[in-house]
């Protein structure tokens, strides 16, 4: 259901994407933070039910002092979408720092490994960073920080940001 929701976003089927994300969260059950994060993010991508999405992710992030960078990114992205750009940038800075630390730790342990799995995981981390840089560029651009926005867009492209391939 989660992959289906992303595919539907890429295809421009907003209502169906939200329905698939809702169904995935329902199947995951109460307290499934990853499913709630996914639903909130899908709502943000299609700009639907933003207040509900923000409330969902704020509950998830508030309940975890060490929330995963992806959850913090969703929070920052949604803050940007509701016009709270400075707060968004703070959250996105935190998300990027967390993901960069995760990449550094992983690369230190497995970066020279000939393992395909290690290479795939590093690529996943880079794609997550690409999305985070893109989100921060949007928030920075919204408050006139054009230099930072351009720098973040460049970093996003270098890390593989590509909405047409579902890296969004």
pLDDT in tens, 89-145: 999 999 999 999 999 999 999 877 788 998 899 999 999 999 999 999 999 999 999
> Alpha helix (H) ranges present in the chain?
2-10, 14-28, 33-45, 50-62, 69-81, 85-110, 116-142, 146-159
Q: Reduced to 3 states, what is the DSSP secondary structure of residue 88?
A: helix
Q: Cα(first)–Cα(last) distance of the chain, in Å? A: 17
**Domain spans of the chain, in order of start:** 1-67, 69-168
Is the alpha carbon torsion for 79, 73, 94, 153 positive or negative? Answer: negative
Structure-block tokens of residue 99: 């993901």
Query: What is the dihedral sign for C-alpha 30, 36, 42, 48?
Result: positive
The string of pLDDT tens digits covering residues 12-67 is 999 999 999 999 999 988 669 999 999 999 999 999 999 999 999 999 999 888 99
Q: Tell me how many degrees the CA angle 47-4-165 measures, rounded to the nearest 5.
A: 75
d(CA 115, CA 30): 36
């Amino acid at each position: 259901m989660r992959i289906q929701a992303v595919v539907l976003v890429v295809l421009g089927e907003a209502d169906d994407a939200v329905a698939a994300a809702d169904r995935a969260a329902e199947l995951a059950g109460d307290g499934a933070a990853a499913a709630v994060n996914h639903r909130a993010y899908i709502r943000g991508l299609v700009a639907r039910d933003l207040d509900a999405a923000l409330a969902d992710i704020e509950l998830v992030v508030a309940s975890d002092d060490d929330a995963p960078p992806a959850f913090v990114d969703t929070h920052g992205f949604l803050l940007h979408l509701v016009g709270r750009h400075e707060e968004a940038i703070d959250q996105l800075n935190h998300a990027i720092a967390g993901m960069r630390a995760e990449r550094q730790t992983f690369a230190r342990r497995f970066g020279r490994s000939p393992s395909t799995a290690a290479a795939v995981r590093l690529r996943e981390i880079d794609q997550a960073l690409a999305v985070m840089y893109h989100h921060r560029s949007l928030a920075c651009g919204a408050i006139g920080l054009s230099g930072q926005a351009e720098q973040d867009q460049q970093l996003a492209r270098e890390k593989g940001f590509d909405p047409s391939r579902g890296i969004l």
